[in-house]
Amino acid sequence: MSAEVDMIAASAASAYGTWELVVGLEVHTELATATKLFSASPNRFGDEPNTNIDPVTLGLPGALPVLNRHAVELAMRIGLALNCRIQACSFHRKNYFYPDMPKAYQISQYDVPLNIDGWLDLPDGTRLGIERAHLEEDTGKSTHVGGVGGRIHGSGGSLIDFNRAGVPLVEIVGRPDIRTSEQARQYVNELRAILVAVGASDAKMEEGSMRVDANVSVHRPGEPFGTRCEIKNLNSVRSLGRAIDFEARRQIDLIEAGERVRQETRHWDEGDGTTHTLRSKEDADDYRYFLEPDLVPLVPDEAWIESVRAALPMLPAARRTRLAQATGAAADGEAIAVVVERGQDDYVLAVAAAGGDPARALVHVKEAYAEQGSLPAVPAADLAALTTMETGGQLTATQAKQVLADLVADGGGDPVAIAGAKGFEAMDAATLETLVDDAVAANAGAWAKFQGGEDKAIGALVGAVMKASRGQADGGAVTALLRARRG
């Protein structure tokens, strides 16, 4: 977490004043299956419109759904990664008319979902409840042409692409445990990391493969929760934070002005940074849920659940802890977060296993491996050799950086040879002593101030040594020598 984000969070928290914010997030994520939830058409983003379709996808008369086993498995992975209980469950029909909804009902899960009662821990240890994570099918995609703001109302016509219709989704319903917009952002980031880690989804908010709706309310601590509004059209983690803060302020202002918050669905407008009424509770559809008679109950047996559990990879939180323990860095610090998110933690551990210094390896990977992905080209042994040279005082930090840049650019190499080619030679103690002697003699004024207790005067002395050594002296060693000499 950067300092900037910290400040935003702090200012938002104080902006709530005596009010407490309550947020629950509903996250829809598209599953990374080869085919759709109930048919054999490909589940693929970006294809020519209406090419990944079939009688089931189009809801043609007589077509029937058949549940995709792999989708169930991915949904179970999500449930297990979120510490949910997996249960025997069923599918319902959610009935409403919309042109991109081919059957005029969505097959979803209603009172008995696949995954219930789990939780997600934020990197700082805050535990946020998960109510449920259920399977459902996506709708098609409408493009309204000739209207205002891409809405159906007032548009001249609509184009419908059914490629997305029937794509498997898992809706993850969080409990209203979030208290700041920063927590909401962290929740989504952590959830996304988990979804990617378990291979359930690519979870890209910008492509719509992960969609977040926020239920926001405010109340005074100790009093019942306030009336909530659901905010839609949140296309990035940044929008999510902005929208929550705006909505909290809007509701607080309403209440403080003696008005009431109306329960409604609101649309986030990225352009003007505000939320607008989409529809009020009174306009809500009656979905007439009933058990989907074309499907049978889904009853995952223990053996199946356990095989899915056994195949789960290590989750981001555990990987952060593991890397923190190996490197001595803070588990909720930036370096650990960045390296684990890039999937480079195994690499750092491999550097350590090859005899390298884990702490230095972590910093190098974080700083220099942004473009390297989870399988960096530089052999772990090469980076290990570099950190060993640093530890042994054979390279200064500045020199190490230059050698590292070459390693990354060339996809590996022998750091000793690279350092040699660059003329980076280890400076023995006697040479360093001589350089320090010269620097003290040549900068008598600075030396006097330093001796007199003016610590910052050491800068000029170190600088002189570095200059004389053409940057090859180890700044730390020079500082240590000067301090020792002062006594």
Partner 1 sequence: MTSEVADTASAIAADVRTGKRTAAAVLDAHLAAIDAREGEIHAFNLVMSDDARAAAGAVDAAVAGGRDPGPLAGVPVALKDNMCTRGVPTTCSSRILDGWRPPYDATVVERLRAAGAVFVGKTNLDEFAMGSSTENSAFGPTRNPHDTSRVPGGSSGGSAAAVAAGFASVALGSDTGGSIRQPAALCGVVGVKPTYGVVSRYGLVAFASSLDQIGPFATTVADAALVVEVIGGHDPADSTSIPRPAPAITATLRDGVEGLRVGRITDLPEGADPDVLARIDAAFDALCDAGAKVVDVECPAFTYGLTAYYLIAPAEASSNLARYDGVRYGLRVPAADTNAMYMATRESGFGDEVKRRIMLGTYALSAGYYDAYYGKALKVRRLIADDFARAYQHADVLLTPASPTVAFPIGEKTDNPLAMYLCDTYTIPANLSGDPGMTVPFGTGADGLPVGVQVLAPTLGEPTMFRVAQALEDAMQGGRG
Q: Which residues bind partner 1 (CB under 8 A)?
A: 55, 58-67, 93, 95, 97, 99, 102-105, 152, 158, 160, 286, 288-290, 293-296
Min CB(253)–partner 1 separation in Å: 33
- State both tokens at 292: 């989907």
**Count of beta carbons in the 10 Å neighbourhood of residue 230:** 18
CB of 25 to partner 1, least distance (A): 26
Distance CA 342, CA 323 (A): 13
- Rounded CA-CA distance 95/140 in Å is 15
Shortest Cβ 225–partner 1 spacing (Å): 23
CB of 119 or CB of 289, closer to partner 1 = 289
CB of residue 96 to partner 1, shortest distance in Å: 9
CB of 105 to partner 1, least distance (A): 6
Minimum distance from residue 337 beta carbon to partner 1 (Å): 44
Question: Given the complex with partner 1, which of 63 and 477 has the nearer CB atom?
Answer: 63
Give the distance from CA 56 to its chain's centroid.
Answer: 35
Which CB, 61 or 222, lies closer to partner 1? 61
Strand pairing partners for 363?
A: none
Q: How many residues does the chain have?
A: 487
Question: Measured from the CB atom, is 18 or 97 closer to partner 1?
Answer: 97
- The region that residue 154 occupies, defined by phi over 0 for left and psi between -120 and 50 for alpha, beta otherwise, is left
* Residue whose CB is less far from partner 1, 225 or 290: 290
**Least spacing, CB of residue 134 vs partner 1, in Å:** 18
First CA to last CA distance, the chain? 40
How far apart CA 225 and CA 52 sit, in angstroms, is 45
Nearer to partner 1, 67 or 381 (CB): 67
Closer to partner 1 by CB, 70 or 175: give it: 70
Cβ atoms of residues 238 and 182 within 8 Å: no
Using CB atoms within 10 A of its CB, is residue 162 exposed (0-12), middle (13-18) or buried (19+)? buried
Q: Which is nearer to partner 1, 292 or 345 (CB)?
A: 292
In the complex, the smallest distance separating the C-beta of residue 300 from partner 1, rounded to whole angstroms, is 16
